[in-house]
Structure 1
Amino acid sequence: MSRQENFRTKIIGGEFKGKFIEIPNIFTTRSSKGILKESLFNTLQFDIIDKNFVEVFSGSGSIGLEALSRGAGQCYFIEYNKIAYRVLQQNIRELDPSRCHHMLGDSFEKFETVLDMLKNSDEKTYFYFDPPFSTRDGMDDVYDKTIALIEKIDASKCEMVIVEHMTKLDMPKEIGELEQVKRKKFGRSTMTYYIAKERV
């Protein structure tokens, strides 16, 4: 069987603007659409500088590496697919490995490891969740499990949580100590934003 070529996408802003990163040509990895990515970083703007950024279901890392390019201090990636993970490692090597932490494994199992790593950080953290769409076999409870992960986040350490999800899904107004502040629709995908309640 011949090896399928990877897709390529560009970093759209910041220090590494114009640099290409690879996206594996496999079913489990959906590249976040350019318009969606642009909207996300227009929302975050310069607030992201020096903050931590966690891409929980990272694939090839296109969102977290965009955050890195725009000045995020430390970026964390979790990916369970070995092919996507190898591409992620390569993308990190091409940009700035010194500010990146990556782990291979199930995001639902490894998330607490990342939370432990962040406990001693003086900077607050952005969390980006883009779970596999639940139309796939065995993924019916993916959003319930994702919400359970968000409930584990310490609001005092959290700058913002962003969830990319199917538009037909209504995310809760509150998750743990966090409250929904924005919802933006892009066709089949929607991004919902949360911040700590006391900041609303």
Structure 2
Amino acid sequence: MKDNTFKIIAGNLKGRKFNFPDAEGLRPTLGKTRETLFNWLQFDIADKTIIEPYAGSGALSLEAISRGAKKVCLIEKNRKVFKNLELNFKLLSNSQYQLNNTDSVIFLDKQNIKPFDLVFLDPPFNQNLIPMTLELLSQKNYLHYESQIYIESEFEITPILLENHLEYDCKIRKQKKSGNVHYCLISLVAI
């Protein structure tokens, strides 16, 4: 039987289990990968604001809140998956999160007022969403010069891809592969 749960690794929600529904393209970030990511971010998570355009299970945002992030903004267009996010986030204070049931591209195409410190970018694979999403994030004021972007993808993220789709200088700080999933952490660099 399939186990549609994930467990929070550390912080004030440590050990708590959350559910997620069966949905096409939904693959929560594995615990080992989440642990690696949050080791990379260990001093860069407290009091930060985060946007997760393709929220899915919400595992990354829940882990971030557990570890002291100030606020997360999640976007999920699948209604069933969104309803599950509402259930999972109910135990948190409303001031810690914002849930949006809409298409990420439509949401990100609106000019943003206050940039985010961190982006969790883990779109469905094989839909070529990363280039367009990076362009919208940088063109519509979702980033600032100290923002970081975490990307999970079916291909290796290269400096050329970033240069072609981000309006910021940036560098790939960390990069790994687990099975067929590539993941990396990018820092924007002030010129």
Shorter-chain TM range is 0.7 to 0.9
CA separation of 1:29 and 1:155: change in aligned 2, threshold 3 A: closer
Residue 18 (structure 2) pairs with residue 21 (structure 1):
yes
Structure 1 residue 50: Cα displacement:
0.4
| 2:39 partner amino acid | N
Structure 2 SS opposite 1:75: strand
CA separation of 1:190 and 1:67: change in aligned 2, threshold 3 A: same
Structure 1 residue 163: Cα displacement:
1.1
Instruction: Give aligned-pair identity as a percent.
Output: 28
Structure 2 SS opposite 1:156: coil
CA separation of 1:114 and 1:184: change in aligned 2, threshold 3 A: farther
| 1:165 partner amino acid | S
Task: Name structure 1 gaps, 5 residues minimum.
Answer: none
Residue 168 (structure 2) pairs with residue 177 (structure 1):
yes
* Corresponding residue for residue 186 of structure 2: 194
CA separation of 1:179 and 1:157: change in aligned 2, threshold 3 A: closer
* Corresponding residue for residue 143 of structure 1: 130
Residue 119 (structure 2) pairs with residue 131 (structure 1):
no
Residue 112 (structure 2) pairs with residue 115 (structure 1):
yes
CA separation of 1:154 and 1:114: change in aligned 2, threshold 3 A: closer
Q: TM-score, normalised by structure 1?
A: 0.82
Structure 2 SS opposite 1:180: strand
Structure 2 SS opposite 1:47: coil
Greater fraction of residues in helix: 1
- Is residue 150–residue 176 contact of structure 1 (8 Å, CA) maintained in 2? no
* Corresponding residue for residue 154 of structure 2: 166
Structure 1 residue 145: Cα displacement:
1.7
Aligned counterparts of 1:78 and 1:114: Cα–Cα separation in 2: 16
Aligned counterparts of 1:191 and 1:178: Cα–Cα separation in 2: 19
Task: Name structure 2 gaps, 5 residues minimum.
Answer: none
Aligned counterparts of 1:195 and 1:28: Cα–Cα separation in 2: 27
- Is residue 76–residue 102 contact of structure 2 (8 Å, CA) maintained in 1? yes
CA separation of 1:191 and 1:49: change in aligned 2, threshold 3 A: same
- Is residue 6–residue 24 contact of structure 1 (8 Å, CA) maintained in 2? no
Aligned counterparts of 2:88 and 2:169: Cα–Cα separation in 1: 32
